[in-house]
Structure 1
Amino acid sequence: MENATRFTDPGYGLWPFTAEILVRCPACEGLATVTKAPDSENGRTRRLTCTGCGHNTSWTAPTLPGGNSWSIPGARGPYDPYFHRPVWLRAGCCGGHSLWAYNVAHLDLLDRFIGAELRERGQWASCGEWTLIEALPLWMKAAKNRDELVRTIRRLRATLPG
């Protein structure tokens, strides 16, 4: 197994991938991005901007009682946590499951993990919260689904501009 591709879990959670989320525009269903608003105080405001129709809107985190902090939504599924728009990088595969990623960096991580023949846990394993890789569903970890998952990732990459 000398030439096997190797992947070591870098220990990321899902949250770092929310800096830029590719979503479907609510106005035209084209590609839009959700990013921190340039004038945002501590990342509290996010902006959805469509590259096709120019639609844009903002979301600001609600202030918690007491006024000193604000509520951060949970990043969980194939929708952005701010505007609840479906992510752009989403496709069905492996018998009715859905493969999704927030952005290209997230898709790259999944691609490296799924394509690897040797998968290692890394130093972050069992340090409290699960890493994104540890939290993946079993169908994404199964070697029998590797080929279909790799094909699905290629299809998702083909939907990106440029």
Structure 2
Amino acid sequence: MTDSRFKDTGEIIYDFLFEHNILIECPHCMKSAKGIRKIEGKFGYILQCKRCGVLSDPMIGTWGNGTFMGLNLWMRTNCCGNLLWAYNIEHLDFMDGYINASLRERIPNKNQSLASRLPDWIKSGKNRNELSKGIAKLRNRLELCD
């Protein structure tokens, strides 16, 4: 455990979806691909894989439980009997900061922030070591990205 502090600044999950590309496992070659937002202000994405050249028509982004547009996220691993996942490096950095902080400060009365919506198994201090290992596994997956 580090002596770091996590201060909730009110980020919501949409901040990681609208502002950054999503890392996805290509369904054709099983390598890293990107979900790239093509319609400003909406969830219109294309799937682009530089390894095999696949380029999809625009799709509406649906998400949850380690998937995006019905495809597996690139950064996902089993951890603490659950699935630990991140949409992109920015989302992973957020999770890393939260998980490894020795002090977690929340915004009072802010129930829509990502930090307030994390599942209990991620919030639990007893899982910190295993979660840190899971974050490290996800970071290793980043090295395999284009």
* Same fold by TM-score greater than 0.5: yes
Tell me, in whole angstroms, the C-alpha distance in 1 between the residues paired with 2:104 and 2:42.
34
Residue identity matched to 1:33: K
Q: Identify the range of structure 1 (28-37 vs 99-108) with the bigger mean alpha-carbon deviation.
A: 28-37
Q: Is the 8 A contact 1:14 1:75 kept in 2?
A: no
SS at match of 1:27: coil
Task: Write the mapping of 1:73-84 to structure 2, written as runs, cut at 5 A.
Answer: 75-80=63-68, 83-84=69-70
1:44 offset after TM fit, Å?
5.7
1:121 offset after TM fit, Å?
0.2
Tell me, in whole angstroms, the C-alpha distance in 1 between the residues paired with 2:32 and 2:84.
18
Question: Scaled by the length of structure 2, what TM-score is found?
Answer: 0.86
Tell me, in whole angstroms, the C-alpha distance in 2 between the residues paired with 1:119 and 1:107.
17
Matched, 1:85 2:71: yes
> Which residue number in structure 2 is paired with residue 4 of structure 1?
3
Q: Is the 8 A contact 2:65 2:83 kept in 1?
A: no
Distance 1:41 1:92, change over 3 A: closer
Question: Scaled by the length of structure 1, what TM-score is found?
Answer: 0.78
Q: Is the 8 A contact 1:92 1:99 kept in 2?
A: yes
> Which residue number in structure 1 is paired with residue 140 of structure 2?
158
- 1:50-78 Cα offsets, whole Å, 9 max, x none, are 121111102255xxxxxxxxxxx554331
> Which residue number in structure 1 is paired with residue 98 of structure 2?
113
Provide runs of 4+ in structure 1 moved above 4 Å. Answer: 41-44
Tell me, in whole angstroms, the C-alpha distance in 2 between the residues paired with 1:22 and 1:145.
25
Distance 1:120 1:114, change over 3 A: same
> Which residue number in structure 2 is paired with residue 100 of structure 1?
85
1:17 offset after TM fit, Å?
1.0
Number of aligned pairs?
141
1:161 offset after TM fit, Å?
2.9
Residue identity matched to 1:92: N
- 1:32-61 Cα offsets, whole Å, 9 max, x none, are 000123xx4655631110121111102255
C-alpha RMSD of the superposition = 2.0
Q: Is the 8 A contact 1:28 1:53 kept in 2?
A: yes
Percent identity over paired residues: 35
| Greater Rg by CA | 1
Tell me, in whole angstroms, the C-alpha distance in 1 between the residues paired with 2:53 and 2:33.
9
Pairing partner for 1:126 from 103, 109, 133: 109
